[in-house]
Structure 1
């Protein structure tokens, strides 16, 4: 049984008196750029996949890779398969591209049936598990381990190992020590495939609950129900099936529906029905079943028993109208011009659309040896903001929203997570950026930046002391620190394809250019 994980923010790191960001001029931001020639331009391929998750994975892929052991180095793959390196220094500023390795983007000889059927393609990626090793996934099913040596001086890397794997994007590579001075590299791949393909593939370790639920889900279709006083109407989408293909059996306590001999719905009613008075018909791909209640006026809590599958219920319009009338005395259509300030009806800040989370967030930990789930934490309807590689030899930290703030959690050990940094009000700020594509923070946590799809970058600094004092004219509050916000308008309106933050440099990659924005004098 998996362990439970607890995330409790450190109250000492939360600033409840944060007074917002002050817009600062971008005049002190210096930009350096390099124009990419045809051989250096970005590898940009598109697949014809019909999967939403795969399309989203392609659109949000970050083509710029940072080196956690050399903060001023960045890498990307060109359309020719060249892995190019740029670096930023006081002397050369943003250097020209230097080819360190050649990747093979050609189709492999052996392609899985799932990849052939779905035509799934992935972008190449590189990770750095140590100061002298690199792991490259070419996106086409090949994984390469490269000996880089000292990356600050070497000009070319040597391949020491190659293996075939599932197509996907390499997201993490971690180096672990084994017995007899052996070293192991654990790689985390991200790919999209049908659930049934996972179950049928012996290479994947799946939870037994997932196998059971997926097997039952394959036999169940979705349906809608509408309850009235005397009868219940059930609608089921049967696609192109004809009436002769359907097998519908209505009994006093049970309903069974089959399509061409395959049972797709079976459940025990929560209350009995008159089977001889019930009926069904099919029209435009929809099966409609009308169930007559055995006891008139009885309010059913659900169509089936709790152990049976549940569908979606539509409310009776007459019942909705009746409930609205009963609650009419609690509402008003008149504006209250003088509300009670000490007893507000609600907090309007809690009802903004940008604060809503689309789904519950779950934190999972996988055991590196067994690849099975070892720990988990249900975070509820919160928002994941970004991940941050604070140091080169540690697991990346993750930032999630806590109230309006962004809280950075650093994994330590098997089930311990430490609250290391708070990005004041960043949860609220990030939720309002509807065009945001990439989010990244500096390794020293001094700032966090958001890159739009094109044209604009927003930088939010931690509060900094300055040689003076600010006074709020309305509240009279005095401050000796200020949190700056800088808005960078790019010289080009090309789409931002890569984004990386170092201690004081923002790196931005487009199809034709690479930019280095110096945020402080270096």
Structure 2
């Protein structure tokens, strides 16, 4: 990880409202149009063997409603007969158009218990990639989708002879001269005896020659134990971006590392073991690092020699090297101190970049100590905007505080991480498509707000890779934490409103501005702004299976209906 560049998410203060004073419930009715389904959506369910948390996420959080990024007033879903139905809302008439079937899968009768949901992604204005949830991939030529023409199969192939069941996480198309390349990432849950379940991401490429000859090529598999909170290919597939609470490694890179380690072990000269990197405990706060070594009774302060530079630490006791390695990040050498007391050698290093969380102290060293008795443990949960306010139950992180979420950028040539963004103990809130053909924006909780970040790449300087602050939903991070029954979260492309949708009954709509709340002020304070909250209650609609948002329309797919919520109707 020493070659990985740490990237910081920097908020744009112009997009933050310090005078926001919460949401006010509006009793205004949201006009809703219901279209009853004659055939319910096709929904896969896990088998008895698919009981892990990874399987539950994969099946229950699947969004069955797919929006066309190039025509946001059109959404698609697959019904139980294997037909892709298109639902379009017409702004001119204020009514939805009759649903149409644009493609029908050859057969769904061969599906087995435990097969994944059918998934598809729009890659351009005329191309779509579909996976049947089993073992086949379809490249579909859709034509001009605004004309509702029938889709045609341009390419079809089996994915793997060794595995079954996949869903598409992302797909991108670009041209290299006269050759067109389609890169896509498939997601599946694997299992190994003795290791349990794990997540696999498989990277494939479809190459199309000038004569329309297409070939499918396997590129790489990434494996990890954690959930996938975000997965996207860069615009020209020069890298893959992953967000998880566990590290994901390319299988080929891991195998090569094992071979090198094995050859080094079998050689005549073996490198010194890293056991010296395991004989201490360490912890951190926002400002400093504390390291403790156990001392023998016969040693004194004069027996120790400690050398600390900006990015390296060496600790020696007489002739024994206790630690000699590069640090994760830089420290302020002028403020480094150490003491010898209570049979412990204790070092205190001051971080050069305060608030930067260190996932490890030195490469190969022990993880951060979680001893509850130490006084240097970090505070639980994120800070609140008002330090005098009491922490509430919904502010507590739902995951263990030992888990750390991060975003990794993995290069397509080296298949190794090049950039990393540390997110702390909270996963992203949601991801949403803001620009067609571009990686989705990712929303994270910053204090009580939800901030949207969009990938920014400099064409002339690939090292200048970061996520740029695109917008803020005031206090939505705090609101989201209080919704225990939430299933889907998204926002409109114009960032005018956000929606939190429960599994069965309630849909919450949040707007950052309430038109009737002008000129409100705190006593002896500045003018405050109020957001607007609206509520839609679903009656006898069945479980919510999908959601998609447009600037003025929210599409909701349930077991019985397609709902059109007219958000911005005067």
CA distance in 1, matches of 2:550, 2:177: 35
- Superposition TM-score, scaled by structure 1 size: 0.68
Residue matched to 1:422 = 472
**1:214 shift after superposition:** 10
Partner of 1:174: 172
Show the counterpart of 1:341. none
| TM alignment of 1:235-384, pairs within 5 A | 347-350=388-391, 352-356=393-397, 358=399, 359-369=403-413, 371-384=415-428
**Alignment counterpart, residue 17 of structure 2, candidates 5, 15, 18:** 15
Partner of 1:99: 101
Instruction: Determine the C-alpha separation between the residues in 2 that align with 1:164 and 1:213.
Output: 31
Quote the residue 1:74 is aligned against: 75
One of 204, 207, 220 as aligned partner of 2:221: 204
CA distance in 1, matches of 2:522, 2:344: 61
What do the CA deviations read for 1:240-292 (whole angstroms, capped 9, x no partner)? xxxxxxxxxxxxxxxxxxxxxxxxxxxxxx899xxxxxxxxxxxxxxxxxxxx
> How far apart, CA to CA, are the structure 2 residues paired with 1:92 and 1:518?
9
- Cα gap change, 1:422 to 1:346, in 2 (>3 Å): closer
- In the other structure, the counterpart of 1:507 is 555
Cα distance in 2 for partners of 1:40, 1:411 equals: 37
> Is 1:59 matched up with 2:60?
yes
Task: Specify whether residues 26 and 313 from structure 1 end up closer, same or farther in structure 2 by C-alpha distance, changes over 3 A only.
Answer: closer
**2:349 maps to which residue?**
none
Structure 1 residue 4: Cα displacement: 2.3
Does residue 183 (structure 1) correspond to residue 185 (structure 2)? The answer is: no
Matched, 1:520 2:518: no
SS at match of 2:544: coil
1:87-126 → structure 2 map (5 Å cutoff): 87-89=88-90, 90-91=92-93, 93-103=95-105, 104-107=107-110, 120-126=114-120
Structure 1 residues 214-240: Cα deviation after superposition (integer angstroms, max 9, x where no partner): 99xxxxxxxxxxxxxxxxxxxxxxxxx
**1:130-145 correspondence to structure 2 within 5 Å:** 130-145=124-139
Question: Hey, what's the Cα distance between the residues in 2 that align with 1:94 and 1:13?
Answer: 35
Structure 2 residue runs of 5 or longer lacking an equivalent are 202-217, 223-248, 260-293, 297-341, 347-362, 375-385
Check conservation: 1:40, 1:82, Cα contact below 8 A.
no
Alignment RMSD (CA, Å): 3.7
Q: Which string of whole-angstrom CA distances, capped at 9 and with x for unpartnered residues, describes residues 46-80 of structure 1? A: 32213221122111111111111001000011111
2: CA distance, partners of 1:203 / 1:127: 20
Alignment of 1:219-234 (within 5 A): none
SS, match of residue 55 in structure 1? helix
Q: Which has the higher helix share?
A: 1
Correspondent of 2:439 among 366, 372, 395: 395
Is contact 2:20-2:530 (8 Å) kept? no
Q: Is 2:182 the counterpart of 1:150?
A: no
Tell whether 2:545 aligns with 1:497.
Answer: yes
SS in 2 for 1:445: coil
- What TM-score do you get using the length of structure 2 for normalisation? 0.63
Residues 1:439 and 2:437 aligned together: no
- Quick check: 1:131–1:150 contact (8 Å CA) kept in 2? yes
Distance 1:120 1:347, change over 3 A: farther
Match of 2:42 in 1: 42
Is the Cα–Cα contact under 8 Å of residues 34 and 562 in structure 2 kept in the other structure?
yes
2:498 corresponds to: 448
What is the total number of aligned residue pairs between the two structures? 401
Supply the distance in 2 between the matched residues of 1:55 and 1:382 (Cα, whole angstroms).
19
Secondary structure of residue in 2 paired with 1:19: strand
Q: Is the 8 A contact 2:175 2:181 kept in 1?
A: yes
Cα distance in 2 between the residues matched to 1:453 and 1:406? 22
Q: How far apart are 1:7 and its partner, in Å?
A: 1.1
